[in-house]
Amino acid sequence: MIEIVVGDITGLEVDAIVNAANASLMPGGGVDGAIHRAAGPELARFTATLGGCETGEAKIAPGFGLKARHVILTVGPIWKGGQGGEEALLASCYHNSCRLAEQEKLRSLAFPAISTGVYGYPKAEAARVALEALRQHEANFDRLICCCFSEQDAELYRKQLSEAGT
Ligand code: ADP
């Protein structure tokens, strides 16, 4: 079952947390900044060697100072009104992050609401895309978590889940 939790993703004790990174994989703001602060400077030193990341793709790094053993870095699309393939790219972020975790035999994985901060993706739409993608990977994990930063965001996820009848 997909779990909806409210809180700071940096505190989760899971095999991997997913970071909504930017294409350079260098520390930015939002959840990315929080993850880099909690992981420590080793994370940026490591991600600097990864050669960046395309939108919709994902890369993996150790968790360093985090409670999570790994960080999966994925780059969400910037919302430009919905005609630029944003939905497929956002779905790819979730699929490619799950595939990486599956390859690495990770059993617990937590996602933030990718693209819904400074990248401007409408939150309810993003929750629908996230849950549709994650449902296809649910069976491969012991815990698959959507970590929402506010109760209002979590409510959007719960609404999508109930509308989908799961
Ligand atoms: P993006 O650039 O992909 O839009 P942001 O970091 O700006 O990424 O925002 C993505 C989502 O992460 C937003 O919904 C924001 O509220 C949420 N967020 C910010 N900090 C944290 C955190 N520490 N833990 C979980 N979610 C967070």
Tell me what pLDDT residue 164 has. Answer: 79
pTM to 2 decimal places: 0.98
The Cα 30–Cα 32 span in angstroms is: 5
Q: 15, 32, 142, 153: which one is catalytic?
A: 32
CB-CB contact of 111 with 130 (8 Å): yes
Q: Is 144 exposed, middle or buried (0-12, 13-18, 19+ CB in 10 A)?
A: buried
- Give yes or no for residue 77 CB within 6 A of ligand 1: no
- Whole-number Å distance, alpha carbon 16 to ligand 1 midpoint, is 16
Tell me what pLDDT residue 103 has. Answer: 98
Report which secondary-structure segment, H or E, holds 115.
none
* Structure tokens, 12: 């989760």
The Cα 75–Cα 56 span in angstroms is: 6
The Cα 59–Cα 72 span in angstroms is: 6
Of the CA atoms within 13 Å of residue 12, those in its CB half-sphere come to: 29
Tell me what pLDDT residue 143 has. Answer: 98
Residue ranges of the chain with pLDDT lower than 50? none
- Whole-number Å distance, alpha carbon 79 to ligand 1 midpoint, is 14
Tell me what pLDDT residue 165 has. Answer: 66
Q: What is the DSSP letter of 148?
A: E
* Ligand 1 atom closest to the CA of 22, numbered from 1: 2
CA-closest candidate to residue 15, choices 99, 147, 107: 107
- Give yes or no for residue 115 CB within 6 A of ligand 1: yes
Protein residue whose Cα sits closest to atom 13 of ligand 1: 117
- Give yes or no for residue 114 CB within 6 A of ligand 1: yes
* Ligand 1 atom closest to the CA of 34, numbered from 1: 23
CB-CB contact of 75 with 68 (8 Å): no
